Structure 1
């Protein structure tokens, strides 16, 4: 393969996500769970800039505290760049600068967005010319949420969340995020879910593969926020609340101040509140901010990782 190197930095933007719905199947022999989830990409983004280099390196900035993020080979963006380089036979490396705005360990897929953006950036930087299907296959090797960060929009994820099918969503949905000052470990939340199910056999999901409720798909097709609010669900929410009980008060506060419904996104601890419209979002954002919470107004669905001209 002939590699065509870009002369300037490549800039790619990828979105965070909310899990509108999440069912979690029983733990498998390998320790993982089958899930059925409805993803929506929202207007909170990660910006990745890439320059050609002899080595692989990454640095971080942005509106969130990035001081604890690893910058060695354990970082998911570095893993993404090295995986693409190996696959395409690229002899050099890349210098990555990532501007982060998605909460870290917040249940919104920020690390997955970094990895997806890095795949797109390095593909453009190195001129490897991989197809969407090839990039998706690489994304699936990096993590369950990485393929969705590539595609964006609204989609149903099954298996580990990486088998995607598009979901028709009309209009725009408005969300207010209550962003915690701490993170939750995704494996830790799943372990807490398994522990609760062992203690309470009535919570056992059985052996059937989980599915997304039809009401979720109907609400998305109709673009009806109130219908969607009634269908929001997350099997991981009780486990996240068990590990971080203060999230319960945040849910109550949001719903007392005009939210149609609230739920923990993914493994948490970010709490996402669905509202009627942009005006309602601003009112709720003000109310949550008055309670000294970090509140953000976002909308969805938005595009997945894409190349920008700047």
Structure 2
């Protein structure tokens, strides 16, 4: 029987602003899932969407995570065997794997604008999170039609053709069995935008595949993206990781926390005199891993759950 691959988990924030408490709770859970099982933890900075990046956010993210007592074995400040760990430094890697997919004849240019897609939408996306289902408008364009679009100055995005019969099946450690017909729900999705920026769905698969991430712990809002990513994992012949989509933290009105809310971050808590152990205690208590008012470090929290990750899962799904 072959030996199991060493567990590798990751936390991959986008530096578009300071991390709020919901982001930090997800970071804590991703770290716990990995450390409890003796795995290696990776920090990756997902800064592909450069127009939205805050130039100081990456260093602030590193500072906040370290202040809380979270550590990592590989990352932008440590390097590692699969560097670089910052997406904006991995353009040539993404381009290589895009060309691999283009060689399969499944990738095609799409000249549709957002306004045109909104007008032509034929079915709701049913929670996929980034608009309506793409109806395949540009999939069968002739060479002459493409030349006309190019002559008119239209810059295409690049989409991947999803076979009608494709069904993604996986078991989420928290959400349970999942099934999605990607074509019916989202249609042919974008790999590279018209402005040249590689899409999240594509880059995250290439990164997780090459960095040998085999356990992904992230927010439940990303659960609908998983089927698209599994399709790409399979197409690129990367092993598919296990997934655990954790609950989101909400405010007193039940609304999801946002980076736009400065009061949701660490700075106000530090200014008010809270210690890192008090914040960790609050984050752990908010998802049932500690009692209200308990004060603890991440390492102390690990000692409470010395068994494999299913003990944490049991707590989270109650």
Structure showing greater radius of gyration is: 2
TM-score, with normalisation over the residues of structure 2?
0.24
Relative contact order (alpha carbons < 8 A, sep ≥ 6): 1 or 2 greater? 1
